[in-house]
Amino acid sequence: MSVEQVEIIDFIGINKDTGKVVLTISDHLDWADSHLHLQKLQDKLNSYLRFCESGELYKTYPDAKGRNVVLSIAAKYPFSPEGEAFFSKAKISIERAGFSLELV
């Protein structure tokens, strides 16, 4: 599972320290083709948002009910300047949708 498999949720679980539901994107791509990387990341984040907003999250993972949701990007490589700009904008949009976004 990875950022390239847009319709698959890579990892899901509950953070034992915070009690939040964490949906993790496994991003193994480097930034050699920044445009392609950003497109794949945007598509994957949009897929995760659809999964949460449609209620599919709660059908698939009933323990998520009543918990805050965090979308997490586990990146193998540091983000490029374009990636950082994208992340900042995506974070705002995702927070407006009622979720959180983090980079680990």
**Residue 21 counted as domain residue:** yes
| Strand pairing class (69-75; 21-27) | parallel
| Domain total of the chain | 1
**Residue 57 counted as domain residue:** yes
**Residue 28 counted as domain residue:** yes
- Residue 13 one-letter amino acid: G
**Residue 2 counted as domain residue:** no
**Residue 65 counted as domain residue:** yes
Contacts 24+ apart (CB under 8 A), 32-39: 34/80, 34/82, 34/83, 37/80, 37/83, 38/82, 38/83, 38/86
pLDDT on residue 1: 79
Q: What is the pLDDT of residues 37-66, one digit of tens each?
A: 999 999 999 999 999 999 999 999 999 999
**Residue 46 counted as domain residue:** yes
pLDDT on residue 68: 97
Give the chain's residues under pLDDT 70: none
**Residue 6 counted as domain residue:** no
Q: Which domain holds residue 69?
A: 11-103
**Residue 5 counted as domain residue:** no
pTM: 0.94
